[in-house]
Amino acid sequence: MEGPLWTERHQPDIADLPQEGVRENLRRAVQEPMNLVVHGPKGAGKTAAVRALARETHDNEADLIELNVADFFDSTKKELEEDDRFGRFISAKRRRESSKADLVNHVLKESASYAPVAGEYKTILLDNAEGMREDFQQALRRVMEQYYEATQFVIATRQPSALIPPIRSRCFPVPVRAPAQAEVVGVLESIAEAEEADYDEDGLAYVAEAAEGDLRRAVLNAQTTYEQEGEITMQAAYETLQSVGVDERVGEMLAAAEAGEFTDARSTLDDLLVDAGYSGNEVLEDVLTVARSRYGESKLARLHRLAGGIDMDLHEGTNDRLHVSHLLAEVGELADGQ
């Protein structure tokens, strides 16, 4: 996609969220800060809702700390040390002498313990928390108990039942259902008008229906339609979305990584690996194919060198998501270096 993603440029405030129940629960959390479990299906708008809450409650964006559970808890000790968010908490001696579990627990505790940049508390978002191991959940429970005065914990998950009872009991539940088609159309209409994009009702309805309850996917598909056809009409949406395949999804993933929106990039990666059933090697091949039409010779050469190392890691049979996520992080650094 060209330019910023619409999902980033048009992040909603609490008042803009389409579900009344979600708005009411978040307004309550603004007035009375509390730990939350925000739960619902993929693409329902959980992360967008938490970001809206953070903008309402914090004067400084640094007081929202986003941790993608799969990336955070699956990272190696070296990767944790090299992450800009956590490196200051980890000495070389601690990395050598600590187990992986102890190091993760230490980073989690340190992230929760430091004072907020502004205001009375900060927010830590643990996103995609359905994959959190029970021992890490027990560690999280202890951190929540110790640092409740200065840290609000928000756990976003598709499966709240996967959380241990002591965590669920410490969090107020905020259910986010899959949006109705009329709600998706309303969001698309407000974005299209803000972008001064030509559209008609049938075009927005077609985009909304094709997204099958995934609000994020609907917004990205509306942007794709507009960029390719110059309008969001029924005919334009039909022609565009019929041609949207893996390459288009990979293009969205790369654009998000380039913009530093790694939560969005990794969400698309999850779609490809889990929902679509592609292997890490297949996604890597598609990344290189799409990159040939996006990047200049110098950047493409650097990407191929990085991909060579990722390919070797994938052939060792370890975590596909972790290794391709590492490549996405490197793509962000390549974009910064241009």
Please tell me which of 35-44, 245-254, 282-291 the model is most confident about, judged by mean pLDDT: 35-44
Please give the pLDDT value at position 243.
60
Beta strands in 101-146 (DSSP E): 122-127
pLDDT per residue over 81-98, tens digit each?
777 777 777 777 777 778
Burial environment of residue 193 by CB neighbours within 10 A (0 to 12, 13 to 18, 19 or more): exposed
For residue 338, pLDDT over 50 is answered with no
Please give the pLDDT value at position 271.
81
Which residue type sits at 251? G
Please give the pLDDT value at position 250.
86
Please give the pLDDT value at position 262.
83
Is residue 69 a contact partner of residue 131, using CB atoms and an 8 Å limit?
Answer: yes
Average the pLDDT over each of 23-32, 145-154, 165-174, 290-299 and give the range with the smallest value.
290-299
For residue 337, pLDDT over 70 is answered with no
Is residue 41 a contact partner of residue 264, using CB atoms and an 8 Å limit?
Answer: no
How far is residue 315's CA from residue 106's CA, in Å, rounded to a whole number? 31
Please give the pLDDT value at position 234.
94
How far is residue 60's CA from residue 180's CA, in Å, rounded to a whole number? 33
How far is residue 180's CA from residue 24's CA, in Å, rounded to a whole number? 18
Q: What is the mean pLDDT of residues 209-214?
A: 88
Structure-block tokens of residue 4: 């910023």
Show the domains of the chain with their CATH numbers.
19-175 (3.40.50.300), 181-241 (1.10.8.60), 247-336 (1.20.272.10)
Please give the pLDDT value at position 47.
92
Residue 128: enclosing H or E segment and its boundaries?
A: none
pLDDT per residue over 232-275, tens digit each?
999 999 888 876 566 778 888 888 888 888 888 888 888 888 76
Stronger pLDDT, 102 or 152, i.e. the higher one = 152
pLDDT per residue over 296-316, tens digit each?
777 788 888 888 888 888 877
For residue 100, pLDDT over 70 is answered with yes
Structure-block tokens of residue 231: 């309008």
Please give the pLDDT value at position 318.
63
Q: What is the mean pLDDT of residues 3-30?
A: 92
pLDDT per residue over 133-165, tens digit each?
888 899 899 999 999 889 999 999 999 999 999
Please give the pLDDT value at position 128.
85
Q: Tell me the Cα Rg of the chain.
A: 20
Please give the pLDDT value at position 1.
57
Name the pLDDT band for 329 (thresholds 50, 70, 90): confident
Average the pLDDT over each of 82-86, 173-177, 183-187, 321-325 and give the range with the smallest value.
82-86
Q: What is the mean pLDDT of the chain?
A: 86
Q: Is 186 left (phi over 0), alpha (psi -120 to 50) or beta?
A: alpha
